[in-house]
Structure 1
């Protein structure tokens, strides 16, 4: 599920008003997708993991694809996430099968 927004902000709006409505960019097309769009589905998979010295776990809440006009047809993809506490036995734990369980309340 995705929504396509083809708007430009009116010149009289303040930055705060623009932010309240939608994040605007100097672009022809903004494609937004997020957790909200998939809530009606029977199954969902929004979980993400960023591997590193410390692994971080979260939920992907929104993906925004900004397409810029012009010959090059540039685009930028932004990922917005809600992160959980990465501390073992506090925000995450490993079950007996080695699978990570994330405490969604942290």
Structure 2
């Protein structure tokens, strides 16, 4: 699949969203608590949408997003408290292999670059 609608949101893979006015491939999911007691927040881009169907009765299925994640550490993600914006450094990727999430747990986000700030070209 390359599109999936859930809770009035239309999710798309990065390939489908590329070069369109609306980019619906950005996702956010809240992760586990780290060693400092802080919740880890993951931001990423949907690479593939997979529907898994289970045989038998009743028929069951689950939809998974395979995502490419940005670095969730302070080097790759930070909060701009003045404007209440999360900044993501798109050149820093998450190193661990953990690409799959359940689609119903995802929240949609939109990524926009800083148009006039050359010092924030990577953010």
For 1:63-91, what per-residue CA distance to the aligned partner results, in whole angstroms no more than 9, with x for missing partners?
11133455422212111010111112x10
2:24 corresponds to: 45
4+ runs deviating over 3 angstroms: 67-71
Q: Which runs of 5 or more structure 1 residues have no equivalent in the other structure?
A: 4-32
- Which structure has more relative contact order (CA 8 Å, sep 6+)? It is 2
Counterpart for residue 64 of structure 2: 78
Correspondence for 1:36: 15
Q: Using structure 1 for the length normalisation, give the TM-score.
A: 0.57
Alignment size in residue pairs: 76
Aligned-residue offset at 1:57:
1.4
Structure showing greater radius of gyration is 1
Return the TM-score normalized by structure 2: 0.50
- The unaligned stretches of length 5 or more in structure 2 are 4-11, 32-38, 93-123
Structure with greater strand share of residues:
2
Aligned residues of 2:76 and 2:88 also touching (Cα < 8 A): yes
Mapped to 1, the partners of 2:26 and 2:87 lie a distance apart of 11
